[in-house]
Chains A and B, each alone.
Chain A
Amino acid sequence: MPLLSLRDLAIGSLKPFSNHLYEGDCVALSGPSGCGKSLLLRAIADLDPHSGTCFLRGEACDQIPAPEWRRRVMLTPSECRWWLPTVGEHMPAGMPPSWYEKAGFNPDVAGWEASRLSSGERQRLGLIRTLSREPAVSLLDEPSANLDNRNRERIERMLTAYLAEPGRAICLVSHDQEQCLRLANRFWNIIDDKVRELSELTPTFQV
């Protein structure tokens, strides 16, 4: 059984799209700027009104309370926001401090003031905030846009480790073609309001 199924999912100007994600899949979503990549992720996370339905292990999105759906199918935006005074307060209760180390932080980062984080720190910590909640499907919108090479490698290792657990899948928006090739086993491309699955990463795959 597929982990995540999209059935006739349509939002904004995007045409209805159906496809499946299986356990262990990492699909890279690409297309020119403004083509609706983020919008598609938002529709899967049920953050905007849309037509069509998503299913998680066969269970329809609208049969699951919306907060519960978003805990299982979790979107990480390209700009992660912080609303509580310190970093640690945003993390799930009882999260092991080793999570911070995986992204290259000392565990005392939990006490840092959230308002003073740099954009790269916000991005790495935002990914910890998502992955430590252990969603079944992780929707990632440009997870390494603000990172240097070393930190980009760190988060790629985190994503690989996350995928290695049973019952996980990733849908990734990235403008880094090399990164897509390293992480993804499948490729979706949006052109002219249509989402298409590509058999392999070809020059038509625009990043």
Chain B
Amino acid sequence: MSIIHLSIWDLGLCALLVCSLAWINWRQAPDLSSGILIGVARLTIQLSLIGMALKFLFAQTSLPWVLMVCLFMAAMAGREVGARQEHRFTEGWTFRIGLFAMTASSYSMILIVLLALIQPEPWYKPQYAIPLLGMILGNTLNGVSLCLDRLTAGARNQKDLIEGRLMLGEPAEEAIQDQRRQALHAGMTPAINGMATAGVVSLPGMMTGQILAGSPPETAVAYQIMIFLMIVAATGFGTWIANRLAIWRLFDERHRLRLDRLALK
């Protein structure tokens, strides 16, 4: 089966549709329209750039280049974690905690996928390493940022409850256990929902892409199952690590709830 290429006119037609959406909303919600237009521009520019970068990378198959791209992706993910928080830690701790949690879990998952499961030749073959890391990192980012957001919001909004427990002599870990559990749930729910609806409500993007590109459905399905499980594992470990580190930061060695370590908003 040969791949049907898309021409610039096909893409232009799609863009025209979205731009007309911006036009009909212009009067009622101008900020929505400008948001749509900026989004179209960002999508086009970012993906075109990454297309060129991937073309270059795939032609090299060099380990240093692959590593550099992986580090760049993790740094961007760390920045995004902070950008989506309502109650950020001071002194860049949201970035530090998010970056550490995401890289520790995503990188170990991608190494397992590449070295033990797919085993491409060489193991860092960019056609595999970079898109797979992108998917794992993107989902882990989602889980970690939801989890941190829920935990810090819980600590701030339920300060009296947590301190009420501290006053009775409960250690910090115990005093915040309800908020901690809620944060873990918040971080894991998208990944769990994704598994539950896969194939029933939605056909996952990676599988769709592979089928469109001519892979037999059974190969696409096997890849999709693997990547789903890896996403859930990476999200779960990343969320767990971020949760632990955030709790360590929320309390000090005297088991005091330190909301002064959250930035005022």
Contacts and interface: CB of A to CB of B under 8 A. Distances in A.
A114 to B, nearest CB: 11
B256 interface: yes
B164 A67 contact: no
Contacts of B163: 47, 77
Given A47-B256, A83-B161, A83-B178, A77 B167 contact: yes
A67 B171 contact: yes
Nearest to B256: A47
B256 A70 contact: no
Interface size class of B (residues with CB under 8 A): 10 to 19
B168 interface: yes
Contacts, number: 53
User: Which of B161, B164, B178, B252 has the most C-beta atoms of chain A within 10 angstroms of its own C-beta?
Assistant: B164
Interface string B146-164: 0000000000000011011
Contacts of A46: 254, 256
A70 B165 CA distance: 10
A135 B169 CA distance: 10
B164 A83 contact: yes
B164 A62 contact: no
B79 to A, nearest CB: 30
B170 interface: yes
Interface string A10-52: 0000000000000000000000000000000000011111000
B249 interface: no
Contacts of B170: 67
A124 interface: no
28 contacts: A45-B167, A46-B254, A47-B166, A49-B252, A49-B258, A62-B254, A66-B171, A66-B254, A67-B166, A67-B169, A67-B170, A67-B171, A70-B166, A70-B168, A70-B169, A71-B168, A74-B168, A76-B167, A77-B160, A77-B163, A79-B160, A82-B164, A83-B161, A83-B164, A83-B165, A129-B168, A133-B168, A133-B169
A180 interface: no
Contacts of B185: none
B169 A71 contact: yes
Contacts of A68: 169
Interface of B: 160-161, 163-171, 178, 252-258
Interface of A: 45-49, 62, 66-68, 70-71, 74-77, 79-83, 129-130, 133
User: Which of A68, A81, A82 has the most C-beta atoms of chain B within 10 angstroms of its own C-beta?
Assistant: A81
B167 A47 contact: yes
A66 B164 contact: no
B254 A74 contact: no
A66 B169 CA distance: 8
Contacts of B171: 66-67
A122 to B, nearest CB: 11
A77 B166 CA distance: 12
Contact of A48 (B165, B178, B253, B256): B256
